[in-house]
A = this chain, B = another copy of it.
Amino acid sequence: MTELIDLSEVAGQAGKFDCFLEQVRDRFGFDHVAYLGSNPVAGTMHGYVTYPEEWKRHYTHQAYHLIDPTLRIAQRSIAPIDWSRIEQSDNFRLVFCAAREFGISDRGVTIPVRGPFGDTGMLSVTRDTDEHEWRAMIAHSIGDLQSIAVHMHDAVMNSDAFSNVLRRTPLSSREIEILQWTAAGKTQQDIADILNISHRTVEVHLRSAREKLFSLTTAQAIARAIAQHLIYPI
């Protein structure tokens, strides 16, 4: 499965993300703010949290990110998830009871956000308070939190992990045209008929596209062309 990486311990500009989360926490008056982003291409997860060091270590050591119901549900949801609406499963009790021992409340919200590559981010905020004040806090800040989640995910995904994927290969218009038709399910002969050329020529353009995309097969070229937004999968 995926491996949990704490980017704050990695070299570079990572510290600014932790700092950003602390600013969000202080500005909106939460106890803690946490971001967890997953990169399915690399098979990794990147986390930044304001949680105490001990809980961070315990969470990582117990691999809670594999069973945490908060993450599981947010991964399948479009809208923000209030933790009070999560089903009281065994995993729920396991994680939240452990959290309580580290002084972390079970009152919180997790906001999912997604990018175009199946990359997912989750921004969680929590505060130990009563129902009434919690509702007021969330109602007041949910819009900003939504924007913050998007901004955070955008920044993390553009920081390093995805920059190589976003590099675009210069294909000729004919190559893109033929790749697009191929992704649409047309055979080389079909495309030849559509463009009124020989199917041999279609194959040459596909070969050229394969070479430029460093692909061994046309299927791989299609995958890479989609990843680079050179063509559209539909």
* A interface residue numbers (CB < 8 A to B): 1-2, 40-41, 43, 75-80, 113-118, 120, 142-144, 146-147, 150-151, 153-154, 157, 182-187, 215-220, 222-224, 226-227, 229, 231-234
Contacts and interface: CB of A to CB of B under 8 A. Distances in A.
A227 to B, nearest CB: 4
Contacts of A116: 75-78, 114, 120
Given A182-B219, A182-B220, A218-B219, 20 more contacts: A1-B184, A2-B234, A40-B234, A78-B113, A78-B154, A78-B157, A114-B114, A114-B115, A117-B233, A142-B143, A143-B144, A182-B217, A184-B220, A185-B216, A185-B220, A186-B217, A187-B217, A223-B226, A223-B231, A226-B226
B154 A143 contact: no
